[in-house]
């Protein structure tokens, strides 16, 4: 019986017949179910290319893939810093730390508000108002332009060029204003008194351009 079965199996199969038999065999559901999906094949291709790229980098770049990752992190940090300092984020952050919010008052009004706040023990408000009185007084004397969105640091830097005798306390006053108004650090009576003294010194100080003339 075995001999009969073997004799019935064709030994010499032409090309067309072989192709047809192969197609019929591959059409079997068992093969189709075992075939990987296109997503799996795509993932395998991407993974293969990525591993090949990493091997190339590892052999071509000093320090290997670790150096490349470190360089990428540094570049990302630099981009973020540049965006924060010069892009829309910088503009938003700067306008959010301005000395004046809304319509300006006269320096005397800010000074009076500071004294009233200090008398009731509200030194946070007293520090805010007395520093605004300093900046507003400099604007009224035309030592500072009335520029919207000016920060405390900018005011101190610009005024310090014309009033070098008070440049250092102006910068210290700007830091105190930012710490209290934007940093949430509680103000003290000593801090308020130091700004009151700064206010008096700025009012008496003569700009270097006028003094030279």
**Burial of 99: CB neighbours in 10 Å, binned 0-12, 13-18, 19+:** buried
Specify the pLDDT at position 212.
46
Specify the pLDDT at position 146.
87
Output Rg (C-alpha) for the chain, integer angstroms.
39
Specify the pLDDT at position 213.
44
In degrees, rounded to 5, the angle at the alpha carbon of residue 153 between the alpha carbons of residues 93 and 185 is 75
The per-residue pLDDT for range 154-207, each reduced to its tens digit, is: 999 999 999 999 999 999 999 999 999 999 999 999 999 999 999 999 999 999
Q: Judge contact between 133 and 127, C-beta under 8 A.
A: no
The per-residue pLDDT for range 97-146, each reduced to its tens digit, is: 889 877 779 999 999 999 999 999 999 999 999 999 999 999 999 999 98
- CA–CA separation, 104 and 100 (whole Å): 7
pTM: 0.56
Specify the pLDDT at position 6.
47
Specify the pLDDT at position 66.
58
Specify the pLDDT at position 94.
43
């Amino acid at each position: 019986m075995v001999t009969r079965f073997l004799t019935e199996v064709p030994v010499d199969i032409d090309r067309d017949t072989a192709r047809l038999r192969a197609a019929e065999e591959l059409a079997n559901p068992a093969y189709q179910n075992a075939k990987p999906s296109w997503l799996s094949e795509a993932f395998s291709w991407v993974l293969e290319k990525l591993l090949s790229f990493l091997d190339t980098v590892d052999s071509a770049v000093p320090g290997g893939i670790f150096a490349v990752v470190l360089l990428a992190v540094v570049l990302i940090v630099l981009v973020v810093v540049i965006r924060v300092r010069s892009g829309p984020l910088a503009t938003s952050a700067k306008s959010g730390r301005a000395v004046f919010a809304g319509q300006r008052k006269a320096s005397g009004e800010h000074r009076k508000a500071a004294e009233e706040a200090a008398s009731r023990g509200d030194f946070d408000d007293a520090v805010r108002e007395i520093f605004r009185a300093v900046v507003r007084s400099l604007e009224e004397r035309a030592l500072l332009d009335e520029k919207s969105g000016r920060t405390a640091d900018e005011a101190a830097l610009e005024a310090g060029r014309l009033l070098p005798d008070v440049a250092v306390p102006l910068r210290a006053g700007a830091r105190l204003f930012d710490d209290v108004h934007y940093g949430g650090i509680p103000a003290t009576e000593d801090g308020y008194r130091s700004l009151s003294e700064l206010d008096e010194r700025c009012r008496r100080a003569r700009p270097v351009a006028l003094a030279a003339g």
